[in-house]
Amino acid sequence: MIKVGLTGGIGSGKTTVAKIFEEIGIPVYYADSKAKTLMQTDKNIREKIIKHFGKDSFIKDKLNNKYLANIVFKDKKQLKILEKIVHPVVINDFLKWAKKQTSPYVIVENAIMVKTGMDKYLDYIIYVDAPVNERIKRVIERDEISENDVKLRINQQNKENKLLNKAYFLINNNNNKDLLVKEVKNIDKKLNYLLKKS
């Protein structure tokens, strides 16, 4: 089973690309949304969060996002502690999920692959890129936030651009859906060829 990482900066169109892979029958694991679910449902994560961040981390069995965000986004040390609690569980969950799939390869969509350490478990990486102006425009429309906030997020993610050098495949997303579908199908063909060779 080949495990393929799908990544790229905020607003690059990773999710759009992931959906196209799903349309052609390839299972996709969405690491970010899965992390949110696991923070809510995994007993081990819950206990560790409460132990470190206090009982207010959960209200009536629901994760208190506001409370937690208020702590971790003001203090990098606290953010690292939260990441150390959550990331290994997500990686483990992904690896278990991948084993259950019957397709020739699987995709994991993750914006912070290096930070989570997930890149170490992958055979190939697909990097989705898009012009910065286009990315800013997309995120403003999607998240209804200011241009300044988008630029801050882009700067925070810049470390992940190291993955661009590790990437086996590069997709340039210029808002042309037909071209995007073509590129995904082309990568699918190449991955199936690499599978036959291995």
Q: List, in order, residues 6 or more apart from 193 with CB less than 8 Å away.
A: none
Higher pLDDT, 18 or 159: 18
According to the model, what pLDDT value does residue 90 have? 97
pTM for this prediction: 0.87
Q: What is the mean pLDDT of residues 29-54?
A: 94
Segment holding 77, helix H or strand E? helix 76-100
What is the percentage of the chain residues whose pLDDT exceeds 70? 94
Q: What is the mean pLDDT of residues 153-173?
A: 72
Q: Is 181 exposed, middle or buried (0-12, 13-18, 19+ CB in 10 A)?
A: middle
* Residue 177 pLDDT > 60: yes
Q: What is the mean pLDDT of residues 99-110?
A: 96
> Count of CB atoms within 10 A of residue 103's CB?
13
* Residue 39 pLDDT > 80: yes
Task: Label residue 86 left, alpha or beta by phi (over 0 means left) and psi (-120 to 50 means alpha).
Answer: alpha
Segment holding 29, helix H or strand E? strand 28-30
The C-alpha atoms of residue 140 and residue 117 are separated, in whole angstroms, by: 29
Question: Chain-wide mean pLDDT for the chain?
Answer: 89
* Residue 25 pLDDT > 90: yes
According to the model, what pLDDT value does residue 146 have? 84
Q: What are phi and psi of 117, to 5 degrees?
A: 85, 5
The amino acid sitting at 189 is K
According to the model, what pLDDT value does residue 118 have? 93
Q: Is 27 exposed, middle or buried (0-12, 13-18, 19+ CB in 10 A)?
A: middle
Place of tokens 């859906």: 177
* Residue 107 pLDDT > 90: yes
Helices and strands (H, E) in the chain, number of each type: 10, 7
* Residue 158 pLDDT > 70: no
According to the model, what pLDDT value does residue 165 have? 67
The C-alpha atoms of residue 51 and residue 163 are separated, in whole angstroms, by: 34
The C-alpha atoms of residue 118 and residue 11 are separated, in whole angstroms, by: 21
Rg of the chain (C-alpha set): 18
The C-alpha atoms of residue 99 and residue 96 are separated, in whole angstroms, by: 5
According to the model, what pLDDT value does residue 157 have? 63
* Residue 162 pLDDT > 80: no
Band (114; pLDDT cuts 50, 70, 90): confident
Domains defined for the chain, CATH in brackets: 1-27+104-198 (3.40.50.300), 36-100 (3.40.50.300)
Q: Are strands 58-59 and 62-63 parallel, antiparallel or unpaired?
A: antiparallel
Higher pLDDT, 97 or 166: 97
